[in-house]
Amino acid sequence: MKKTLQGKVAIITGASSGIGLECARIFSQAGASVVLAARSGDKLKALEDELKDNPVLTVITDVSRESDCKILIEKTVERFGRIDILVNNAGLSMRALFRDVDLSVLKTLMDVNFWGCVYCTKYALPRLLESKGSVVGVTSIAGFKGLPARTGYSSSKYAMNGFLDTLRTEHLYDGLHVMTFAPGFTSSNVRVSALTADGTSQGKTPRTEEKMMSAQSVAIHMLNGIIKRKDTVVLTPLGKLTVFMAKFFPRFVSKMEFRMMANEPDSPLGHSQQN
């Protein structure tokens, strides 16, 4: 891989698995010094050992805590003296009807998905402005068109999209790059760790993971988007079609989404499907 990020410093939240882990690998191969942030110290240490040929810093971070995000940025600057890329990737999903879900589940998703992005960006922003760097928010197709049984997830991703869009406009003329990055269905553990109505993890995926885009492919697309300084990246044919169609035929897309989600194994929508 070409050393397109040589000399750059990249922070990746949610780096212990899935998209975050593959971003760490790809960015390191591209020459970046990578800062790995997640809650799992053991997984971060294993990844740090794997990437030992390039500069790596691991910081155990719960992005729902403002103080953790502040420390993450401080330790990055202390070690490397700069920040060029911030990838706000840490995230949680859910799977439950709003009428059934405990409101604490929605709060947890907002704390991780939305506030985690806000906290990290707030403290990294002065350094990113100095480097004319990139803020990346890993959002979702659910941030463009609400997904049934995913109210908390969709709400948090809509909030991320609005935050990033506004941030981009505020810094339109000072060199800051802000990218909204929506992967679509990606093979990862996000569905395994998704919260159910009572806040417990569902523990298994309801979808065929091997048929989805790989996390490695997603990471490569993200790298290309950063290099080209794109505003928005939407991946997968289904994702692109959903975002496009939702602008002109929202009711039709809602029906298709309902049908798709209702056909998942043990779907909360299964008993309500309209034929």
Mean pLDDT score of the chain: 91
Classify residue 270: in a domain, yes or no: no
> How far lies 248's CA from each of 126, 148, 202, 240, 257, in Å?
39, 19, 34, 13, 15
Domain total for the chain? 1
- For residue 117, being part of any structural domain is answered with yes
Asked if the structure places residue 29 within a domain, the reply is yes
Q: CA-to-CA distance for 88 and 35, rounded, in angstroms?
A: 12
Residue 272 in domain:
no
Facing residues of 11 across strands? 35, 86
Indicate whether 170 belongs to any domain. Answer: yes
Regions in the chain scoring below 70 on pLDDT: 1, 187-191, 203-211, 271-275
Report the catalytic residues. 153
Evaluate whether 82 touches 254 at the Cβ level (below 8 Å).
no
Give the residue numbers spanning the domain of 125. 9-249
Model's pTM, two decimal places? 0.90
User: How much is the pLDDT for 275?
Assistant: 39
At 267 the pLDDT is 85
Indicate which CATH number applies to the domain containing 154.
3.40.50.720
Structural domain contains residue 174 = yes
| Residue 99: burial class (beta carbons within 10 Å; 0-12, 13-18, 19+) | exposed
According to the model, what pLDDT value does residue 192 have? 74
pLDDT score recorded for residue 187 = 64
Instruction: Check: CB of residue 228 under 8 Å from CB of residue 136.
Output: no
Q: Is residue 164 part of a domain?
A: yes
Residue 61 located in a structural domain: yes
